[in-house]
Amino acid sequence: MNFKSLFITTSALFLFCQAQAQSAAELLKASDRARGSAIGGLTWKSTIETSEDGDSSTREFMVKVKDNDAYVEALQPARNKGEIFIFNDRNMWFFKPSLKRPVSISARQKLTGQAANGDIASTNYARDYTPTLEKTEVLNGEKMHVLLLKAKGENMTYDQIRYWIRDKDKLAVKADFLTAQGKAFKSGTMEYKNTVSVGGQKIPFVSKLIIVDSKFTQNRSIISYGQPRAETHSASLFKVSNLTR
């Protein structure tokens, strides 16, 4: 192969890889839209039903998001009522009435059952992860794009995620949550029976996320999303300094 042919081949390969990266990023951004990201102001109620080692529990939260920020207030059970989680971009804070001031916490910490703290707010994977399109396959009779997402920092909820995005509507329907070494330790499946009106247009919105332990499949948490609606939230709602006033 002469130098000219090598240059043409290398250029073609670069353009192909560039197109693949752009395609993966566009798919991921489109899928985020139905999971609370890039819509502006939103409010919904989350109910988490957990089965863990034979025990069961239910927790309820009110979630308010605006762009990259989120305000989450615990409603039930009574012992957790009044607890507040605030997401400022990639930073997360926790506050409850018995504390003098909010404390910084990790999105990776367990919230309840299989759900981590980072699972409770909106999903902004396009911001937090670098996607690679691994393959296209058929799942349950539907064409899927399979992406591998790698965390852009150590404060992301998961190190890596293998993510199935449906071709026809660009909705994410399955996720394998992976360790840094690439081993799946839990999986998730998503449903979209909600809609949200944004700018006069109705768009799909997640209605359920089922997270299952990969080793002990009887251990699972079901996050149900209720009453989603577009709302305008004041920037002051997401200020950590306001929690102690």
Residue 6 included in any domain: no
Residue 14 has pLDDT above 70, yes or no: no
Residue 226 included in any domain: yes
Q: State the total domains in the chain.
A: 1
Q: pLDDT band for position 122 (50/70/90)?
A: confident
Residue 18 included in any domain: no
Residue 15 included in any domain: no
Residue 26 included in any domain: no
Alpha carbons 83 and 86: distance in angstroms, whole number: 10
Position 69 scores a pLDDT of 92
Task: Taking residues 91-120, report their average pLDDT.
Answer: 94
Residue 16 has pLDDT above 70, yes or no: no
How far are the Cα atoms of 32, 122, 244 from residue 131, in angstroms, in the given order?
Answer: 13, 18, 39
Position 1 scores a pLDDT of 56
Residue 205 has pLDDT above 70, yes or no: yes
Q: pLDDT band for position 5 (50/70/90)?
A: low
Residue 235 included in any domain: yes
User: 């609606």: which residue's tokens?
Assistant: 229
Task: Taking residues 108-131, report their average pLDDT.
Answer: 93
Torsion angles phi and psi, residue 196, rounded to 5: -130, 135
Residue 109 has pLDDT above 90, yes or no: yes
Q: Which domain holds residue 67?
A: 31-244
Q: pLDDT band for position 4 (50/70/90)?
A: low
Residue 63 included in any domain: yes
Nearest C-alpha neighbor of 59 from the set 125, 122, 114: 114
Residue 8 has pLDDT above 60, yes or no: no
Residue 199 has pLDDT above 80, yes or no: no
| Average pLDDT score over the chain | 89
Alpha carbons 56 and 5: distance in angstroms, whole number: 64
CATH code, 100: 2.50.20.10
Each residue's pLDDT tens digit, 154-184: 889 999 999 999 999 999 999 999 999 999 9
The structure tokens listed for 180 are 């840094």
Residue 115 has pLDDT above 70, yes or no: yes
Nearest C-alpha neighbor of 55 from the set 236, 220, 244, 231: 220
Each residue's pLDDT tens digit, 66-81: 988 999 999 999 999 9
Q: pLDDT band for position 36 (50/70/90)?
A: confident
Question: Tell me, what amino acid is at 142?
Answer: E
Residue 57 included in any domain: yes
